[in-house]
Structure 1
Amino acid sequence: MSMRELLPMRALLKEIGNKLHMPVITDSLMRSTVFEDNQGCLSLVNVPKMSARNKYLALKYHFFRSNIGESKGIVAKYIPTLEQRADIFTKGLPAPQFAVIRKLLMGW
């Protein structure tokens, strides 16, 4: 889901940089990191191997895979589930896990 928001945001920043004649905002300087807690998703994105089980995902993941890489400026990294900050906004969490993520976000 975050790649769906990241790609248009990067295009918007690049367009704004071009319109304002700011050579600072280029593909080489825009770096983004997508933190993922799903090992299966990371292997689909990082390893260019298709199997019979993931063939139906081909279009979406081939598109995302073509946009990920050091040279493209987007890197996918693993983060443990207990430290995934996005979960606080997308899931109903138990109180202890909510407190851990709140501390990561707020610092208290």
Structure 2
Amino acid sequence: MLVICPTSLKCQWQSEIARFAGRESRVLTGGRMQRQKDYALDDFCKITNYEKLKSDLDLIAFWAPELVIVDEAQRVKNWNRRWCSVSGRGRMILSSAGWRRAACRPKNVRR
């Protein structure tokens, strides 16, 4: 499982996963070489932020997570270009704000 969220929420996600799932997760930090090693590890969940995502798309594609959770999804500006390469068997998109413009809404979102 991969969680993509704002930097300020990475540790919150880690504690909530431990609390509710009883499983350990890995917050991805450091330079690209460190993150490459972290993606290769067998973890229940990896947590990254939007800023690291663009440079890590190839690492994520190679790892191929089963589930991708995008938190605070209203921050994404161009769904079709940026997120098409982040694949998983399932995707969960979380947003505290409504989808304001249909042009920036992912095509497969169901209300």
Global fold match (TM > 0.5):
no
Structure (1/2) with the larger helix percentage: 1
Scaled by the length of structure 1, what TM-score is found? Answer: 0.29
Structure (1/2) with the larger strand percentage: 2
Scaled by the length of structure 2, what TM-score is found? Answer: 0.29
